[in-house]
Amino acid sequence: MIFSWYIIVIPDLNTVIVRLGHKRASEYNAQWDYPVDMDIWLEAGLRVADNVRK
């Protein structure tokens, strides 16, 4: 079974974004070949990281 787990590491920002889930978007970003919901989790994680640094 493939879960919808995303682990995004951004060393320059000293940030790790982890999303654990059971479902993911069925649509894919054609250019980079990843589920389109990954953009949502990346943006949300970056917003949280930015608020923590303030």
Q: What is the pLDDT of residues 13-32, one digit of tens each?
A: 999 999 887 777 778 878 87
Is 11 inside a domain boundary? yes
Q: Is 5 exposed, middle or buried (0-12, 13-18, 19+ CB in 10 A)?
A: exposed
Domain extent, residue 29, equals 6-53
pLDDT tens, 7-16? 999 999 999 9
The secondary structure of residue 26, as a DSSP letter, is: S
Within a domain: 12: yes
Residue 1 belongs to a domain:
no
Domain count, the chain: 1
Does 36 reside within a domain? yes
Predicted structure pTM score? 0.70
